[in-house]
Structure 1
Amino acid sequence: MKKQLIFINLVLLTFFISCKNKEEVTPVEEIKANTFDVIVDLKIQKDDELILFYKDPSIAYFDDKNTVYNGVKGSSEIQSLTFSIPEGILPNDIRLDISSKKDQDPIIINAITLSFEGRIFKIEKRDILKYFTPNEFIKFDEATGEVKFIKNGENFDPYFLTKPVIYTEIEKVRGVQL
């Protein structure tokens, strides 16, 4: 019985000493994927969902599979919405659907920024029409950055398509030597 008691005490002593000497483990911060991002600085009054469509050289046209959705809460303050294209995909073209709500108030776009691996290309509101074409559901004022929506019966799909002049800038952000 004495031997069992000594053995149990040794086991408990070893256990307590090993627990006391263990270093505190700090959790490792998850490393975020290095993604191609499109950041839109805007003021939007009502909750909405914006969509970024993207293509790479293997994709011939914009489709629902190659999209990034971003829900936004309405606010009177400027917000930055970041659309992160999935890791490993480097777009060569984008399309920005600016609203999905027919009753949305006018939106102000201050800037659109393309970013990848520390390289950025920022488009200020005064230059948005140089790089993007609004479709028939949008009236854009480049002086103020205001996007007004044009209703056309039941149809409503306001978006900005890129102009060819932006392709060189996308390539630079991607890191392609021209």
Structure 2
Amino acid sequence: MKKSILLLFALSLSLLVSCKDENAVEKTEEQAKKNVKVTVSALVKVDDDFQLFFREEDNITTPFEEGNSLWTKVTASDKPQNIEFTLPENVLPNYLRLDLGKNEGQQPVVISGMKIEFLDKKIEINTSTFFETYFVHNNSIEIKDKSTGEVITKKDENGTYDPVFNSGENLKFELQKMYR
């Protein structure tokens, strides 16, 4: 009889512990979803480091700050790849800035789209809307072909190499809708 009670107690305890572990896993997954994730689909033929700046402030003229940015290594490939940036938890940016690397020897880059995810919502940006609706480029980027997304990175007229795409008001409105 004592063995049966002990066996029943041990079984109950193991079920209780396993249920507790499942809840911990669910909470961890739920917490991970509170991050905004930005995925850029691009063909990059030379190794480089891409940087994504983010700004929560609702003023388009406020400069981006290095402390509000993420770097990721991009390995050269002859095939398009997903370049991912996961923002810190509870950071909900109004503006983004994508820097296409530091490598002045970069070959033409092909941007085929971008996806921005938060919780169960997402914004999918195709090639044409990337260039025509959501992002503007600086003088270190030359758009070779908007329809294919091919861009050339170069030094600007002052000899500075800093190829940048800045988001504008259109993306801000879409981001704010996504956060609701």
TM-score by length of 2: 0.77
1:88 deviation in Å?
1.3
Residue in 2 that maps onto 1:112: 114
1:61 deviation in Å?
2.6
Please give the root-mean-square deviation of Cα atoms over the aligned residues, in Å: 2.4
Residue identity (%):
27
**Counterpart Cα distance in 2 of 1:87 and 1:145:** 31
Q: 1:75 aligns with which of 77, 82, 95?
A: 77
1:137 deviation in Å?
0.6
**Counterpart Cα distance in 1 of 2:108 and 2:114:** 17
SS in 2 for 1:65: helix
1:117 deviation in Å?
0.6
Residue in 2 that maps onto 1:150: 154
**Counterpart Cα distance in 2 of 1:82 and 1:121:** 14
Residue in 1 that maps onto 2:66: 64
1:151 deviation in Å?
2.4
1:163 deviation in Å?
2.1
**Counterpart Cα distance in 2 of 1:123 and 1:160:** 14
* 2:36 corresponds to 1:36: yes
Q: Which amino acid aligns with 2:127?
A: K
SS in 1 for 2:54: strand
- Higher helix fraction (1 or 2): 2
Residue in 1 that maps onto 2:139: 136
**Counterpart Cα distance in 2 of 1:87 and 1:165:** 24
Paired residues in the alignment total 157
Q: Which region of structure 1 is more displaced relative to structure 2, 61-70 or 144-153?
A: 144-153
1:142 deviation in Å?
1.3
SS in 1 for 2:111: strand
1:115 deviation in Å?
0.9
Residue in 2 that maps onto 1:5: none
1:58 deviation in Å?
7.7
Work out whether residues 58 and 94 of structure 2, in 8 Å CA contact, stay in contact via their aligned partners in 1. Answer: no
**Counterpart Cα distance in 2 of 1:136 and 1:154:** 10
Residue in 2 that maps onto 1:92: 94
TM-score by length of 1: 0.78
Structure 1: unaligned runs, 5 residues or longer? 1-20
**Counterpart Cα distance in 2 of 1:56 and 1:155:** 27
Work out whether residues 127 and 142 of structure 1, in 8 Å CA contact, stay in contact via their aligned partners in 2. Answer: no
**Counterpart Cα distance in 2 of 1:57 and 1:47:** 32
SS in 1 for 2:42: strand
* Structure with the greater alpha carbon radius of gyration: 1
SS in 2 for 1:89: coil
**Counterpart Cα distance in 2 of 1:80 and 1:65:** 24
